[in-house]
């Protein structure tokens, strides 16, 4: 059931379920190599690439197998589901070095600005140099200046 959120509640509760990652099942490495992609970050275990045609992310293991294919991020509003891979968002990429207690690595941050000025979305992908793991986090921000109805 939809409910009216105040801005503070929206920011606090948004991580509880209104942002989702859509993932399409894996395809072969041959199919992946045919897609018009750009490698954004990689380590000894994984490579994260951007598919220019679909505006989605692909993650594959460095042994040639696809881990996740055609990842997108969505926010579920009462007015409908909005995807950053559609025409509704302008996406920008930022890559930076990270240093944690366990290891160092690289982080990809995708900022998606809503053309209709409702919700901006961000997703971070972190690859550590010596760890066989991948960290993904996502969130969104109400930029409408008013209330938004979330569908959780």
The pLDDT value recorded for residue 28 is 40
Q: 121 near 6, Cβ under 8 Å?
A: no
The reported pLDDT for the residue numbered 111 is: 92
Q: What is the pLDDT of residue 7?
A: 62
Pairwise CA distance, residues 90 & 123, whole Å: 13
Q: Name the residue range of residue 89's domain.
A: 3-150
Number of domains in the chain: 1
Provide DSSP, 84-123.
TTSTTEEEEEEEEEEE-SS-EEEEEEEEEEETTSSEEEEE
Predicted TM-score of the model (pTM): 0.73
For residue 45, what pLDDT is reported? 94
The two structure tokens encoding residue 39: 């490698």
**For residue 17, what pLDDT is reported?**
43
- Each residue's pLDDT, cut to its tens digit, for the chain (152 residues) gives 455 656 666 555 554 444 444 444 444 444 444 446 678 899 999 999 988 888 889 999 988 889 998 988 888 888 888 888 878 889 888 999 999 888 999 999 999 999 988 889 999 999 999 999 999 999 889 898 888 777 76
Helix, strand, coil distribution of the chain in percent, nearest 5? 10, 55, 35
Please report the pLDDT score of residue 149 as a whole number.
78
- Cβ(138)–Cβ(19) below 8 Å: yes
């Amino acid at each position: 059931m939809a409910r009216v959120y105040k801005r503070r509640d929206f920011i606090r509760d948004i991580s509880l379920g209104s942002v989702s990652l859509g993932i399409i099942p894996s395809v072969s490495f041959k199919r992946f190599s045919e897609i018009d992609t750009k490698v954004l970050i990689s380590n000894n275990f994984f490579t994260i690439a951007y598919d220019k045609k679909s505006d989605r992310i692909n993650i594959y293991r460095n042994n040639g197998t696809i881990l996740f294919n055609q990842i997108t991020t969505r926010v579920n509003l009462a007015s409908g589901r909005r995807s950053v891979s559609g025409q509704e968002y302008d996406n920008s990429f930022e890559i930076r070095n990270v240093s944690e207690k366990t290891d160092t690595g690289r982080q990809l941050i995708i900022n998606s600005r809503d053309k209709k000025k409702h919700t901006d979305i961000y997703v971070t992908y972190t690859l550590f140099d010596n760890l066989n793991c991948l960290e993904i986090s996502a969130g969104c921000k109400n930029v409408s200046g008013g209330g938004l109805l979330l569908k959780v």
